[in-house]
Structure 1
C-alpha cells in the first residue's frame, strides 16, 4: 500500500491468528492495508506492536518497551532527579511539575520524568509513532512495577500546535517540553536503527517556531526545548538560559518560578 500520508509503502500484518482482530482494528484506525507488497510493515504479535523494514539486511523491529531493556536500566540506574532533563524541567525537592511533552516520540523522556513523579501529558502527531507509543503504554500497565509510572502518562491524539491553541484541560501545564526534529540531525531520543525506520514517516519539524510560540502561550511556568548541542535556538523568542551537556542541551524559557507544594 502506498499511503499519501507516508513517503514509503507500508502495510500491517498479524504475526499470529490470535491477533487478527486487533490487527484489523489498527488497520482501520491507521488507514493501512492488511498484508501485501510493501517496504515496511506494522506488525502485531505477542510482544506488542512493532515497526519493521522488510527486505534483506533490514534492521530489526522497533517497539516501545517501558518494562525491560534500556528503559528498565535507566529507571534503575539513570541518576534520578540529578539527570539534566530533571533539572531542566524544574524537578526539585517538593517540586514535581505538571508537564506536557508536546513531541513525545517513543515516550522515553516522558517516562523518565514520570518515573520521578511528574504528571505527564503526551502528544505525538505522527500516527505510526503514536500507535507504537499507545501500545507500549498499554502493555506497561500490566506490569506491577511499571504500572504506577505509566499511570502518570496520558497520551492525547492530534496535532500539538492545534491542541495547545485550543487547550481543553482544566489546568494548563506548568512546563511544556519540546524535542523537535532538527534538520539533518538524528533526534536525540532515537537511535540510528530507529531513525532508519522512521525517516520515511517522520520529517523535520519545520513548524518548530509555531510550536514554540504555542507552548509559550500555554505553559504557566516554563518551556523547555531539547536541542543538539551545537544547533541554533528555535527562531523567535530567545531562551532565558541554557543547560548544556556533551551532545545535547536544554534551552529554557522561564515564565514563573516553580515553588514547592505542601
Structure 2
C-alpha cells in the first residue's frame, strides 16, 4: 500500500495522510494506492485487471439517488432499527465501512455514531464526511454522523456516553456466492479487511451496551451469528435483518 498525490497541489495532503496512516509515498510493486485527487481520497487497486477506484461520496451518485428516491422511512433498514412516526433512535453503526447505511439512517433523522476499525477505510469515510459537510444539501445530514476509528468491541466496552438506543452490525463474513466478489468494493476490501471472525464477541458486546435493540444485517440465507438468538427477522430479496429486542422504542 502506498499513498499517491494526483498533481502537485495534492502533495502536502498526500504526505499528511502517509504520516497519519504510517504508509510510504512510494513502494515498488505496491498492490494498492490511496490516492489524493481533485474529487477526494480514493482507494485504487494497482493490478492490470483492477476495478476502478473506490471513494466515499455522499453528495452525488448512489447516495444521492437513495436519499431522494430510496423510499424514506419505508426502507427495510429503517424499519429494522425502529424508525417510526415520532421515533428516530440514536444508532451506533459498529461496522461502518463506507458509511452507506449510516448515511441512510442519518438522512432519516437518526443521530449516528460510526465505528470503523480498518484505518484506510476510516480515512475514506472521514474524507467523504468532510467533503459532504461543504455541500448545502447534505451538510445537515452528515452533521448527525460522528466517526470513531478503532476496534468496535474495545470502544463499546469503554463507552462513556449515553448508551445508544440501537447498535447496528453488518459484519463481513466468508462469501460462498462468487457473484458477491464481482462488486468493486468487495474486491478491494476483502484483502484489506478479511472476515469478521470476532462477530460473536461483537454481538455480545453490542447486546450489553444497546439500551433498546441490536440489529444485524445478514445475507438472506446465511446463519445467524453464534450466540443469542434474534427476537424476530425482517427478510428481503437478498438480505435480512436479525433484530435482538431489549425494550420497545417509543416517541
* TM-score (structure 1 length as normaliser): 0.92
Q: Does 1:112 align with 2:126?
A: no
Give 1:36 deviation, angstroms.
2.9
Distance 1:162 1:201, change over 3 A: same
Q: CA deviation at 1:191?
A: 6.8
Paired residue total: 248
Q: 1:74 to 1:185 in 2, by over 3 A?
A: farther
TM-fit CA distance, 1:158: 1.0
Q: Distance in 2 between matches of 1:135 and 1:14?
A: 15
Residue 39 of structure 2 corresponds to residue 47 of structure 1: yes
**Partner of 2:191: helix, strand, or coil?**
coil
8 Å Cα contact 2:4-2:33 kept in structure 1: yes
Q: Which has the higher helix share?
A: 2
Structure 1 segment 201-220 matched on structure 2, within 5 A: 201-220=192-211
Q: How does 1:161-176 map to 2 (within 5 A)?
A: 161-169=153-161, 171-176=162-167
Residue among 129, 138, 147 paired with 2:139? 147
TM-align CA RMSD: 1.3
Unaligned ranges ≥5, structure 1: 1-9
Which 4+ runs in 1 deviate beyond 2 A? none
Matched-pair contact (CA < 8 Å) for 2:89–2:110: yes
What residue number does 1:233 align with? 224
How far residue 190 of structure 1 moved from its aligned partner, in angstroms, is: 9.2
Corresponding position: 1:131 with 2:123: yes
Structure 1 185/91 Cα, relative in aligned 2: closer, same or farther at 3 Å? farther
Q: For the residues of structure 2 that align with 1:96 and 1:120, how far apart are their CA atoms?
A: 10
Cα deviation 1:67-110 (Å, max 9, x = unaligned): 00011000000000000000000000000000000000000000
Q: TM-score, normalised by structure 2?
A: 0.96
Structure 2: any 5+ residue segments left out of the alignment?
Answer: none
- Specify which of 148, 157, 167 is matched with residue 156 of structure 1: 148
Structure 1: distance between partners of 2:11 and 2:218:
41
